[in-house]
Structure 1
Amino acid sequence: MKIADPTQTALVNEVKLMLDELPFDGARVLELGCGKAEKTRTLAERGRVTEILALEVDAIQHARNLQVTDLPNVRFAQGGAEAIPAEENSFDIVILFKSLHHVPVEHMDQALCEITRVLKPGGLAWISEPVFAGDLNEIMRLFHDEKIVREAAFAALCRAVEDGRLSLKDERFFNTRSQFDSFAQFDARMIRVTHSNHSLSRELYRKVEEKFSAHLTPQGVTFFTPQRVDLLEKPARH
């Protein structure tokens, strides 16, 4: 396993990649860190899965998710990966989109134990993590430097594979696209979020705006952000 591969720069729609490659037909799915439930909706509306349990730690976003009433095969719950409210061997697929590095470092190993516990033997975990590189990352790290937590998440994944809890089926590296029309949109989407308390001083806010604006064109700005996906499998006998 490796944390990054700068040579792999193909532009990929990760959701489409996941939908194409995972055996969702008739599956029970657990999504950890579902956020605004955009991917949850995409998956649910395809009509392939039997059920989705979508967990979110952020109480504000979870309350909003509970207002969703048109996805009968989705159940929303509040909780984190380190304490999954589900029975063992109950899911065919577990999905984490950019979520593992948000688990407290001291709980990352427990989170992977929990993922293993709730997966059925032969079940799959799709764990995607942002690579600590790229122009957008250089802006974000001014006020939200995730280098340490991303390295810790990768180390936890390596330990889970090394000790046999999970086996590595595949590892992918690619770029995704992030589009912003203006700094105001960046501010709303990346700074003023409910799941993190980004309290920027006036001076730091100005530095962030200046660094962002250096990339801005009349058409906005497009960042290409490197990603890694680890596709893991629970051993048939565990």
Structure 2
Amino acid sequence: MQLYDPYCSDIRDEIAVLKDALEPLHAQGQLRSILEIGCGTGDMTRRIADTWPDAKVCALEIDAIQLEKNQLRNRHDNITYLSGPAEAIPFAAQMFDAVLMFKSLHHVPGALLDQALSEIHRVLRPGGVAYFAEPVFAGELNEIIRLFHDEENVRQAAFDALVRASEDSRWDRARETHYRVPVRFLDFDDFERKVMRVTHSDFQLTPERISKVRCAFEPHMTSDGANFVRPMRANTLVRALSREQR
């Protein structure tokens, strides 16, 4: 496994990368239940529900403010939003065909990462897929964000936990994909609202810090807003079958 591929230039849509990982299950008619952990605003949740309309999607979010917003604006019959952390998933064993985490594994406290991965294994059916899409600590956008929120250590810890899991016999067929996704902001106010003022974190935003971030952001502005490319890494693990199932 590789933390970052600096030579990767593939610009891909996140759903396209996810479809590559889940298509074998879907083709076999075994993608009926999906759990997303740390769904945030629910943007990816809605895209997942639209891509696989026959699957039941449960999305967990621990931020009470965001969870309430998601529940109030839910227009998808196949989505249920609930509260719950990765390290204590509120479901019985072997309930899901796929468990997904988009940019959220590194938010799990470091001491609980292995427990979270064990929980994901517990709620997956044998042969089920665990999918983790994590932002890489690199790139111009990352350099701006690190001015008020440096995630280098937590992203490394999340990667290390995935490496440990890939070496665990409970998991099978580890796969890794490096890609890049375009990210656009209308202006600095849009960036501040979406990235700096999220309800799940307090970044201690003093006027001086905001000014420093603005100075780093403004040179990227064009007539079409500020456009960035974020390097990403997707890791897929499959829950191993028992000897009787092989």
Task: Write the distance in 2 (CA, Å) between the matches of 1:62 and 1:232.
Answer: 27
Tell me the SS of whatever aligns to 1:153: helix
Correspondence list, 1:48-197, <5 A: 48-197=53-202
Which has the higher mean CA deviation after the structures are superposed, 61-70 or 3-12? 61-70
Which residue of structure 1 lines up, in the alignment, with residue 3 of structure 2? 3
Aligned residue type for 2:18 = M
Aligned residue type for 1:137 = N
Task: Write the distance in 2 (CA, Å) between the matches of 1:95 and 1:49.
Answer: 17
Which residue of structure 2 lines up, in the alignment, with residue 231 of structure 1? 236
Correspondence list, 1:17-56, <5 A: 17-22=17-22, 23-24=25-26, 25=29, 26-56=31-61
TM-score scaled to structure 1, two decimals?
Answer: 0.95
CA deviation string 1:172-192 (max 9, x = no partner): 001101101211111111101
Task: Write the distance in 1 (CA, Å) between the matches of 2:74 and 2:214.
Answer: 38
Task: Write the distance in 2 (CA, Å) between the matches of 1:115 and 1:191.
Answer: 29
- Bigger helix fraction: 2
Q: Which runs of 5+ in 2 are unaligned?
A: none
Aligned residue type for 2:10 = A
Decide whether aligned partners of structure 1 residues 57 and 125 sit closer, same or farther in structure 2, where only a CA change above 3 A counts.
Answer: same
Q: Percent identity?
A: 43
**Does the 8 A contact of 2:100 with 2:131 survive in 1?**
yes
TM-score scaled to structure 2, two decimals?
Answer: 0.92
Q: Which runs of 5+ in 1 are unaligned?
A: none
Tell me how large the CA RMSD over aligned residues is. Answer: 1.5
Task: Write the distance in 1 (CA, Å) between the matches of 2:52 and 2:148.
Answer: 40
Asked if 1:207 corresponds to 2:212, the answer is: yes
Which residue of structure 2 lines up, in the alignment, with residue 12 of structure 1? 12
